[in-house]
Amino acid sequence: LGFSAAVTTFHVCYIFGMQDARKKVQRRESRLSREQIVFEAIALLDTEGEEGLTFKALGERLSTGSGAISNKSDLILAACDAIIARVQDASITGDTPQESIRAFALGIFDAIHERPWAGAALMRVPGQQPVIRILESLGREIRILGVPEDEQWTATIALFNYIVGVSGQHAALAQLARQQDLKRSESLEALSQTWSNLDSSQYPFARSIAEKLRTHDDRADFLAGIDFIVIGISVTINSVI
């Protein structure tokens, strides 16, 4: 089959009298599926970063004209959603809702850590599919936790906003590092240096945590924040009752 397709293509080139067979106009046999496009978009985002996703580069990967793909924001939305969907499928429920929330949140964190572009995308699609997925997963556990109907929205959205904030900062730092052609740790080192040179009368606290910026454990910090919120929710609903 591959051979006959090649012959056909050559035939077309011959008729058109093209001089360079390698520059032949190759027409795809089957239409591009949405899955294919999203798959290659993710591959491109993974290897080249956010800035690497251009229609030109994606067109080459899909061996098609750049015009065949359209609506960039929808494409990023779909790519981000695919990542979040995987987290949803992979996440296991714990013995308690607290543990389940921790596990799911960590799943998101790890996914974002691996693909900072997805964290940036998550911020730009308010109320869309990937957001719905996260709210659904969190909200179910919030219900199990015994949060009254009226407070479920508030509790869930608080967790969501925190997660999305961490994702965004993570993505922004990764992009900064990429721009500077540095590793993440080197960018943090540079920032830490700047912080430690701050005026100590104006910025006593920021100076004092400059060292922490270099040595902190991102994942542990993230989880600590989740715990603060979950504890806060638990205390609030118990004191109301």
Partner DNA sequence: ACCTGAACACCGTTCAAGT
Question: What is the binding site for a second copy (CB under 8 A)?
Answer: 123-127, 132, 135-136, 139-140, 143, 152-158, 160-169, 172-173, 175-176, 188, 191, 194-195, 198, 202-206, 208-209, 212-213, 216, 221, 224-225, 227-233, 235-236
Q: Which CB sits closer to DNA, 113 or 115? A: 115
47 binds DNA (CB under 7 A): no
In the DSSP assignment, the letter for residue 128 is S
- Residue closer to DNA by CB (options 19, 215) is 19
Give the Cα separation of 71 and 145 in Å (integer): 40
Minimal distance, residue 71 CB to a second copy, in Å: 12
Q: Which residue, among 160, 192, 188, has the nearest Cα to 173 in the 3D structure?
A: 188
96 CA to centre of own chain: 27
**DSSP one-letter code for 127:** T
Site for DNA in 60-119 (CB under 7 A): 63-68, 70-73
The DSSP letter of residue 147 is: -
Question: Which residue, 62 or 138, is less far from a second copy as judged by CB?
Answer: 138
- CA-wise closest residue to 72 among 124, 126, 26, 134: 124
Kindly tell me which of 103 and 223 has the beta carbon lying closer to a second copy: 223
| Contacts for 191 with CB less than 8 Å, ≥ 6 apart | 213
Choose the contact partner of 146 out of DNA, a second copy, none; CB within 5 to 8 A by kind.
Answer: none
Q: What is the largest CA-CA distance in the chain?
A: 83
CA-based end-to-end distance of the chain: 71
**Residue 25: contacted member of a second copy, DNA, none (CB under 5 to 8 Å, by partner type):** DNA
Is residue 154 involved in binding DNA (CB under 7 A)?
Answer: no
Q: Where along the sequence are the contacts to DNA (CB under 7 A)?
A: 12, 16, 25-28, 31-32, 51, 53-56, 63-68, 70-73
